[in-house]
Structure 1
Amino acid sequence: MDESFSNFEGFGAGLNAQCQALVAAVRRWTSLPCCAGIAPTRTLAKAANHLAKTLGVSGGVLQIITDYHRQQLPVEEIWGVGPRLTNRLGAMGTMTACDLTTALEPTLRKAF
């Protein structure tokens, strides 16, 4: 399995620890590297997972829960945003995931 999207609604404050235990179990059972990304949307969860891998996050779990996290995430790290779209978004001043989530939908629809 390459990746999986799961709903962990209801875990509350223990979600990060639960995901760290899950990552550790996968590593122990398979000897394969494993990371987890936690976020309110699948797209942001995929980006969080990518960042957990590339940044070598302790415990292998990265959670994107605030605008601060989205401000740190370059738009080109978002699933489905390639170089051409990154350039077009950049020309509009959309540089981060936070910029994209706060952009006006009618403006984006008109531009794309």
Structure 2
Amino acid sequence: MLLLQAAMQAVSPAVPTDWSVLAPMPYVSPPQIPPTLSSFVAGEIAAGRCAVARPANGRYIVKVDVATLVGADGIVRRTVPRAIDCPTVEQYSAGLVLSFARANLPRGTTEQWYRATIVYEWLG
């Protein structure tokens, strides 16, 4: 099984270095991100596990980009969160993108990298 996974990763395109050129995730139905998803991120920051300064107005806004490799069949092959100095929030965001994409992406003609951005907002 590990040999098969290694072979599959070897043929996948590398993560692009310039994420600004990535097209946005082509969701069939754009995901609705309820405010409750921000509570995990708020907890990580409150616990000191993330280096996010308290904003002067008390309103936190944390953005996480996730490069996402989508196969021609519309299935996510790989997610790579951009580092924001908070590994738990990075992985949480990658998991959310995977969840939002499940049965919510069109079929394409080739495997392609996209960028998903998740924005967490709350008053702290």
The two structures have a TM-score, normalised by structure 2, of 0.29
The two structures have a TM-score, normalised by structure 1, of 0.31
Q: Relative contact order (alpha carbons < 8 A, sep ≥ 6): 1 or 2 greater?
A: 2
